[in-house]
Amino acid sequence: MNERTSRLGHRPAAPSADVPPFVTVHTAVVLLAALFIGCVGGGLTFLSGSPLAGAVLAGLTGAGASVPVLRTLIR
């Protein structure tokens, strides 16, 4: 049996071209850059001797604050 056919021999319907993507490329780039900034900020905070909870808070704050800035910078 072919991979593309089901047990009854029918092929699944092709995805429609009208359906927009779940996440646009712009959104993915902004969120990945914010994740990177948050990880770097949190990691550096932890390495400076702060407790883990403070480093996580610093990373989340850095990621959250960078999203609006990155959204306007990346076009």
Q: Where are the domains of the chain?
A: 25-73
How far is it, in rounded angstroms, from Cα 1 to Cα 39?
47
pLDDT, tens digit (0-9, with 9 covering 90-100), for 11-29 = 666 666 788 889 999 999 9
| Single pTM value for the model | 0.73
Q: How many Å separate Cα 49 from the centre of its chain?
A: 28
| Listed residue (56, 57, 66) closest to 36, CA to CA | 66
Residue 72 confidence (pLDDT) above 60: yes
State the pLDDT at residue 65: 96
- 74's CB contacts (< 8 A; 6+ apart) are 26, 29, 30, 33
Interval 27-46: pLDDT, tens: 999 999 999 999 999 999 99
pLDDT of amino acid 19 = 86
Residue 48: its pLDDT value, please? 97
Angle formed by the axes of helices 52-73 and 25-47, nearest 10°? 150
